[in-house]
Amino acid sequence: MRRAFALAAQGPERGINPRVGCVILSPDGRTLAEGFHRGAGTAHAEVDALSRLAPGAASGATAVVSLEPCNHTGRTGPCAEALIAAGIARVVYTVADPGEASSGGAERLRAAGVEVAGGVLVADGEALLDDWLVAARLGRPVVTVKWASTLDGRAAAADGSSQWITGPEARADVHRERAAADAIIAGIGTVLADDPALTARTPDGRPLPRQPRPVVVGHRPVPDDAAVRRHPLPLTTLPGDDLAAELAGLHREGVRSVFVEGGPALASSIVRAGLADRLLVYLAPALLGGPRTALDALGVTSIDEAIRYRFTEVVPLGADLKITARPEGAR
């Protein structure tokens, strides 16, 4: 199975489809073929591995796969059917496919007389699939809410100035985080006030190879001359009336992770709605005081109603701290 994980890791880290690896073993344990998924529209890992064998060579063999074989027809056919047709006798996998359309491969295999064993090295399998798996279970992208603040929780000074609360190391890390997301979301208030480009850049301003899709939330129009309109990817605008439904719509369009960097109003709306899967806070050793807090009202009126998160990582970045937190009970 660990070899299947290593194969899967060769596939694209982000995308509509998961990273999957497959190893075909002979009845005596020899490796007959290997395969992995190279991205949307290409052969799935099981089919990729089977394609490397002569007809009939997989009869009686075992397929070790890093995700339950799919059971639906999309751009490619169902892997469960391909394994059955090849004469595979046993399938071993880690995590069950949570997709509404693609799940059920294990049941289909068993119905055809194939021996199936799931749940092998589940923690490793979930770590490999990461955001894709969580997004599939939620039916929406994984949401990271980011802000930079001082020790006293201020995101700007009383006059509204905020550049720069954190140092260059933290700012460079923010751009790496942006590049890792499928989309970056800002509120229209932030766009009108700060005119952000919503791109991922190097410290000297050069664009990183991978860019997040820009999304602006709010009813007011984005000006024609706004920097975000010069983004290399098309701009998406959302009203923000039903954030859960709008995020689900982005998921249907292939967005599996979003990076919310849109000011306290939007961040607070996301947190208040229970949609923040990850908080990313860059904490500067400074004090500003005043009214410009990192979050607005969350509907919490007493300490018993506090929205609890747990720290999963605290990393020094220059003079600042990068703090990652997830909701209590989340993975």
Catalytic positions are 46
Residue 158 burial by CB count (10 A; 0-12/13-18/19+): exposed, middle or buried? exposed
**160 marked as binding residue:** no
Residue listed under structure tokens 């490999």: 128
92 pairs with which residues across the strands?
64, 117
**233 marked as binding residue:** no
DSSP run (H or E) holding 65? strand 62-67
**201 marked as binding residue:** yes
- Amino acid 323 reads I
99, 70 contact by CB (below 8 A): yes
State whether residue 41 is helix, strand or coil. coil
User: Which pair of structure tokens corresponds to residue 82?
Assistant: 């391909």
Alpha carbon distance, N-terminus to C-terminus of the chain = 22
322 CB-side CA count, 13 A: 17
Residues shown for the chain: 331
State whether residue 195 is helix, strand or coil. coil
**52 marked as binding residue:** no
**244 marked as binding residue:** no
233, 209 contact by CB (below 8 A): no
Q: Are strands 183-187 and 213-217 parallel, antiparallel or unpaired?
A: parallel
**266 marked as binding residue:** yes
Q: How many Å apart are CA 58 and CA 172, to the nearest integer? A: 49
Name the nearest CA neighbour of 5 among 64, 70, 50, 78.
64
**190 marked as binding residue:** yes
**79 marked as binding residue:** yes
**161 marked as binding residue:** no
154 pairs with which residues across the strands?
293
User: Which pair of structure tokens corresponds to residue 132?
Assistant: 């894709």
**268 marked as binding residue:** yes
311, 324 contact by CB (below 8 A): yes
**263 marked as binding residue:** yes
**162 marked as binding residue:** yes
Name the nearest CA neighbour of 183 among 168, 194, 199.
199
What residues form the annotated binding site? 44, 70, 79, 148, 162, 164, 178, 190, 194, 198, 201, 261, 263-269
Binding site for NADP(+), by residue number, is 148, 164, 190, 194, 263-269
Q: Which residues are annotated as a binding site for substrate?
A: 162, 178, 198, 201, 261
Annotated binding residues for Zn(2+), as ranges?
44, 70, 79
